[in-house]
């Protein structure tokens, strides 16, 4: 084993957080329409806020400055869930987030191996790249006494995460029962007073290795891994 590779010695402590946020200074002018639409999409796709909030933001009952933050926490049970999932099923999730029309081939081991060794473009190149990151992480995990490499795990998850369109794409990997979602929305009312509400779903029981990702004004950028 390479002593320079950061590994988790005890997966009992394994947990991480995907942190996403979206901010918009103004949402009430016609030139702000894109920001408003992105914000509504974010509320719908990456929070567990009631669907009423889409209408409330669209009708400007709540307006900018507005900030929505969503945290998806995954603990050891979620990590175990991923590792116990068959490669066929993992590739079905990858093919979905990549928008591939060849899912039936990606979930067949023989056909998948053929696709992985051939030149791919577009959506299937996306599947190949993310899939290779996943297979590299899993092979390394099995070859190194079941001590996962943080870098290889992050390489896989970062690429997958950037293609995810909703919380469902993320919970599919780790099992909905193994994920905890919480966050808050801060906005301005029509009377120009501040409005704040929080949301949560699931139960989180552990804090170990924390992996933060930021989503800022439509872009998702991985931040550093922090051990607690």
Over the chain (228 residues), what is each successive 10-residue block's mean pLDDT? 60 79 91 93 93 94 93 88 95 97 96 95 97 95 82 90 91 91 94 94 52 38 36
Task: With 0.85 as the threshold, say if the pTM is over it.
Answer: no
* The pLDDT of residue 4: 52
The conformation of residue 65, written as its DSSP 8-state character, comes to E
Q: What distance in Å separates the CA atoms of residue 122 and residue 98, rounded to the nearest whole number?
A: 9
């Amino acid at each position: 084993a390479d002593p320079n590779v950061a590994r988790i010695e005890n997966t009992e402590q394994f947990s991480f957080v995907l942190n996403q946020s979206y901010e918009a200074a103004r949402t009430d002018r016609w030139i702000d329409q894109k920001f408003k639409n992105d914000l509504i999409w974010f509320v719908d796709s990456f929070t567990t806020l009631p669907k009423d909030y889409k209408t409330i933001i669209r009708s400007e009952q709540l307006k900018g400055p507005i900030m929505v933050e969503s945290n998806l926490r995954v603990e050891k049970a979620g990590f175990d869930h991923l590792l116990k999932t068959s490669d066929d099923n993992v590739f079905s999730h990858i093919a979905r987030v990549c928008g591939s029309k060849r899912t039936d081939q990606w979930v067949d081991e023989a056909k998948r191996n053929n696709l992985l060794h051939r030149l791919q473009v577009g959506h299937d190149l996306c599947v190949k790249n993310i899939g290779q990151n996943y297979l590299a992480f899993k092979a390394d995990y099995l070859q190194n006494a079941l001590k996962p490499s943080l870098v290889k795990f992050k390489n896989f998850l970062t690429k997958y995460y950037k293609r995810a369109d909703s919380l469902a794409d993320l919970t599919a990997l780790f099992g909905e029962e193994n994920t905890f979602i919480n966050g808050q929305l801060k906005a301005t009312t029509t009377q120009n007073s501040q409005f704040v509400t929080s949301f949560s779903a699931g139960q989180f029981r552990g804090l170990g290795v924390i992996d933060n990702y930021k989503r800022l004004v439509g872009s998702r950028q991985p931040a550093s891994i922090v051990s607690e």
